[in-house]
Amino acid sequence: MNLPDPQAFNAWMQSNPMAAMMQDVGAHIKPEAMAELKNAYLKDFGELWQDLLTGKTPPVSDRRFSSAAWQGNPMTAFNAAAYLLNAKFLNAMVETVEATPQQKQKIRFGVQQIIDAMSPANFLATNPEAQQKLIETKGESLTRGLANMLGDMNKGHISLSDESAFEVGRNLAITEGTVVYENPLFQLIQYTPKTATVSQTPLLMVPPCINKFYILDLQPENSLVRYAVEQGNTVFLVSWSNPDKSLAHTTWDDYVEKGVIEAIRVVQDISGVQKLNMFGFCVGGTIVSTALAVLAARGEQAANSLTLLTTFLDFSDTGVLDVFVDETQVSIREQQLKDGGLMPGRDLASTFSSLRPNDLVWNYVQSNYLKGNEPAAFDLLYWNSDSTNLPGPMFCWYLRNTYLENKLKTGELVVAGEKVDLASIDAPAFVYGSRDDHIVPWPSAFDSLNILSGKTRFVLGASGHIAGVINSPAKNKRNYWTNDSGKAKTSEAWFKGATEVPGSWWPEWAKFLSDNGGKKVKPKAKPGNVRYQPIEAAPGRYVKVKAD
């Protein structure tokens, strides 16, 4: 093997935008470790260089470079292979940096962001697919791409879906129901029964306030809300408002007291049932659990059962989100927002997109801007772009007391005037985690079993934070795992003894609700009651409000 000509190699490195970063990272590595990495890098790069000189196309397995436009030309294939080689060694260098685990995670995340941004697929000058389309369309693809980019700049986000294809209330969030209560913080929807009899115990669903509730009610074939109704449950759901300046001083206590506890009171009044089947998804589950512990401290057990989907109660391991939370970053947010203000929805959306930049950012930069394509209609991605604001004081309290200091688990917190002890919740619990969840790692979801004191059951679904949850039985996709031995105390031991089951986990949840639903009764003919009269048809006004 011949190493590349030094002069040509140095010229190529100087033109390589990743080279400077390799030097910066290398400055923090022990010389002997750096020398070993450098020798390995030069060996691999020499082989690539030889392939280029002999006209041989190097193998490239990354799906970003799988098309004939990349593979059919030795030079474009070399660019892709060299980029991947640089990425490989940059990541290897990060692992060699001497730092604490948290510092290394931050370095790893930051370097990966730059690596993903520097892909040759992201630039017209180095993307042969975009160049080919430019020639085929006689420049029209570039014109469309610029128009798409300017349109997205005006909207403030990258278009992930054909946003003209969807409208909340027309073809999203169309499960029949009625808004029966509202205050500035939320609307309460009561869904229309679809069965001759219903379980006596109603189900109150609390979605995350970070996103719109209709992730649980996208379209009829993938709506968890509709499924719950069709299984014979009387379903109520909290539709959080999209905060504006009038809610800029709203606190975590308000979301607990004026949000979930108020919703519980209304459902109790309408149904005549005092103990409800409670449901929380993501941060909605954290708020629900807090509210139930507050009520328990007041001498009331309001939950007949508790369902937690991809929820943190123990924030010991928050996965990659940990890179955004440290004392410095939280203090900055507190200075900005603690005494009032809004955490913009677009900032939250950008944070979550940065966790999967190739899928949620660069893929669309390449398709929409470089190639001039229009994004396809996709309900889940439309929802993903429909962001919500958060009140500053609530957001800052949440960051400090959960992600940063993990006080919810330890029982140190006082919320709504009561000391919060999650173990005081006396109800059976159905706890769900998604195996590939990058927002709530499934072992962290499993750890809720070590906090709750009632009879608990854990189910693990395939896929990620959203796709794992929204997995209707009608589609017969994916799989899930169960382990009902009751012996496993850790997530590792649980999974080692788990049984894999094909299809959706929803029927497991439906059985849990049925087992805790009480006797079957005839559904009420009308929504609400004398005190709580119908206000408007579902999905209501609140969910249609766009973030500023």
* 432 Cα distance to chain centroid: 15
Q: Identify which of 391, 389, 309, 284 has the alpha carbon closest to the alpha carbon of residue 347.
A: 389
Cβ 90 vs Cβ 25: under 8 Å: yes
Cβ 440 vs Cβ 310: under 8 Å: yes
Cβ 124 vs Cβ 117: under 8 Å: no
- Cβ neighbors of 101 (< 8 A, separation 6 or more) are none
Structure-token match 């975009």, residue found: 130
Q: Is 528 left (phi over 0), alpha (psi -120 to 50) or beta?
A: left
In the chain, the amino acid numbered 291 is A
Burial of 545 per CB tally in 10 Å (0-12, 13-18, 19+): middle
CA-based diameter of the chain, in Å? 87
Ordered DSSP codes for 433-459: EETT-SSS-HHHHHGGGGT--S-EEEE
C-alpha 230/C-alpha 477 separation (Å) is: 20
Map residue 245 onto helix, strand or coil: helix
Q: Is the dihedral of CA 283, 285, 291, 297 positive or negative?
A: negative
C-alpha 132/C-alpha 214 separation (Å) is: 40
Cβ 277 vs Cβ 302: under 8 Å: no
Encoded tokens for 49:
């260089």
396 a catalytic residue = no
Q: Which of 121, 282, 313, 462 is catalytic?
A: 282
Q: How far is CA 220 from each of CA 44, 121, 225, 261, 376, rounded to the nearest angstrom?
A: 52, 37, 9, 29, 20
Map residue 414 onto helix, strand or coil: strand
Q: How far is CA 467 from each of CA 7, 418, 464, 500, 536, rounded to the nearest angstrom?
A: 50, 36, 5, 18, 30
Cβ 284 vs Cβ 211: under 8 Å: no
Cβ 385 vs Cβ 379: under 8 Å: no
C-alpha 509/C-alpha 528 separation (Å) is: 26
Q: Identify which of 251, 389, 398 has the alpha carbon closest to the alpha carbon of residue 324.
A: 398
Cβ 293 vs Cβ 421: under 8 Å: yes
Give kind and range of the element (H or E) at residue 90.
helix 74-96
In terms of DSSP bridges, do strands 177-182 and 203-206 run parallel, antiparallel, or are they unpaired? unpaired
Phi, psi of 326 (to 5 degrees): -150, 175
Q: Is the dihedral of CA 118, 123, 128, 130 positive or negative?
A: positive
Kindly list the catalytic residues.
Answer: 282
